[in-house]
Structure formats: structure tokens, C-alpha cells
């Protein structure tokens, strides 16, 4: 069973994404409400992948990702960014970070697990 860490400051998004991944894919889901908590959770739990919001107060997604890359224990965990920013310049900036994929809000709860599996090369 895959273990996914969702890092998002919006309770609704975390809940919908968690329910979606648990019910549709049968994955175990961990959650964190911000970057620092997400890094601590990732180090403690070693998830198979991380789904993280771009826009968060305090430490945003790109900053959190950079800190994760500098943390040897979790640097190899694939990160998928979740964003409402769909402009090309933003997409290029996020893609340049080296994340596994960029997914867009609003997402379809019924296809989120498939989108993640495809981006990560996981077999259904």
C-alpha cells in the first residue's frame, strides 16, 4: 500500500484529497498543514510521495521543496505540487524546481490518484 503525505494549509483541500486517495486508490494518507510540519512528518513517516500546495503562509511549497531536497533522509521522495496558478510562467518556474509533477486545482477527486500514479510511473 502506498503512503502519501498531503501538505496543504486549507483543511478542505486536505480532507477531500485524503478521502479521494484513500477511497479511490486505497492508499494510506498522512497530512500536514504547513511546510515545517510537512518536513517533520516526512522525516518521521517516510511516505512514498508528497502532494503539496504551492501557496501556503509562512513557508510556501517551492521553499518547502528546496528544504526537503537539502534533507538527505527525504530528498529522494517524489513531490507533486498542487496549484491554482495555471499561467505558463508559473508552470515553468515550478517545473524548473525538479518536482515530479504539477497538478492543478481544482482537482477531480475521482481522478487524483490516477493523475498521481501516472506522473510517478506507478502501475494501477
The CATH number covering residue 17 comes to 3.40.50.2300
- State pLDDT tens for residues 45-81: 999 999 999 999 999 999 999 999 999 999 999 999 9
Question: What value does the mean pLDDT take over residues 84-103?
Answer: 78
How many domains, in total, are found in the chain?
A: 1
When computed from its CA atoms, the radius of gyration of the chain, rounded to whole angstroms, is 13
91 pLDDT higher than 80: no
Long-range contacts of 103-107 (CB under 8 A, 24+ apart): 103/51, 105/13, 107/17, 107/82
7 pLDDT higher than 70: yes
Q: What is the pTM of this model?
A: 0.94
Q: Which domain holds residue 89?
A: 3-120
Structure confidence at residue 123 (pLDDT): 78
Structure confidence at residue 94 (pLDDT): 72
Amino acid at each position: 500500500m502506498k503512503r502519501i503525505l498531503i501538505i496543504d494549509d486549507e483543511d478542505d483541500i486536505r480532507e477531500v484529497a485524503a478521502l479521494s486517495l484513500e477511497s479511490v486508490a486505497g492508499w494510506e494518507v498522512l497530512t500536514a498543514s504547513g511546510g515545517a510540519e510537512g518536513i517533520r512528518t516526512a522525516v518521521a513517516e517516510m511516505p512514498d510521495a508528497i502532494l503539496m500546495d504551492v501557496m501556503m503562509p509562512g513557508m510556501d511549497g517551492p521553499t518547502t521543496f528546496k528544504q526537503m531536497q537539502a534533507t538527505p533522509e527525504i530528498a529522494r521522495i517524489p513531490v507533486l505540487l498542487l496549484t491554482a496558478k495555471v499561467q505558463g510562467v508559473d508552470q515553468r518556474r515550478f517545473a524548473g524546481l525538479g518536482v515530479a509533477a504539477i497538478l492543478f486545482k481544482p482537482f477531480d477527486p475521482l481522478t487524483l490518484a490516477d493523475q498521481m500514479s501516472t506522473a510517478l510511473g506507478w502501475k494501477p
